[in-house]
A = this chain, B = another copy of it.
Amino acid sequence: MKDISKATIDRLPLYLRALRMSQDEGLDVISSEELGRRLEITPEQIRKDLASFGQFGKKGVGYYVNELKHSISNILGLDNHWNIAIIGIGHLGSALANYHNFISLGFNLVALFDHDSSIVGKTVNHVKVTDIDVLEQTIKDLNIHIGIITVPGQFAQEVANRLVKSKIKGIWNFAPIRMKVPDDMHIVNEDLSIGLSCLSYHITRKPR
């Protein structure tokens, strides 16, 4: 398989979601044209993206919704049903613990960690908060694959270091810093203030 562009991978989750919605509406077959209309992505782009992973459509017909849905799920590795943990159960951590979309994508929320003794022991969305002191051991015991960092910025690097040592597979980081991790560690930075700042830029430059 050739190298897949980052932009293509970023669009796959959108395709998956649109396919689910289409299926809920009772559609069995969908064309790249229709999928594009729903997502505001050109049909050519969609066909190109999908074609980089194989031939999923039927010429003259379109794509079988259920089939393509499963194919994309598989490509994204969602079939692995990764075990995830959230580190830092403040406002954002709690919100993510309650975010049902992750569950519906196939992720298992198996642990929550916090430092604060007034939070440890509490239950958020049916999961008990564990003391961060036993982070490494719990990651091994519960076979946690992905760590979600929602601690304040000044503690994020240390948490990342401990996750790396615990042989976690990937990190999803919400702390507003660029962390230093080994080259082979997979890390995705979710930077909430970028979106709002960009919006500010656009409304300043091109007011309606």
Residue numbers of A with Cβ under 8 A of B are 9-10, 12-14, 16-17, 38-40, 75-78, 80, 82, 84, 90-92, 94-96, 98-99, 101-102, 105, 107, 145-146, 167, 169-172, 176, 178, 184-188, 190-208
Contacts and interface: CB of A to CB of B under 8 A. Distances in A.
Given A169-B208, A208-B186, A194 B10 contact: yes
Contact of A13 (B77, B96, B107, B197): B197
Nearest to A207: B169
Contacts of A184: 206, 208
24 contacts: A9-B198, A13-B191, A14-B178, A76-B201, A77-B203, A78-B197, A82-B203, A84-B196, A91-B94, A91-B98, A91-B99, A92-B99, A99-B192, A101-B192, A105-B196, A145-B203, A146-B200, A170-B199, A172-B195, A184-B206, A185-B208, A186-B208, A187-B199, A188-B202
Q: Determine the main DSSP class of A at the interface with B.
A: helix
B95 A194 contact: no
Contacts of A107: 196, 200
* Most chain B beta carbons < 10 A, residue from A167, A191, A208: A208
Nearest to A41: B178
A200 B99 contact: no
A172 B199 contact: yes
A203 B95 contact: no
A208 to B, nearest CB: 5
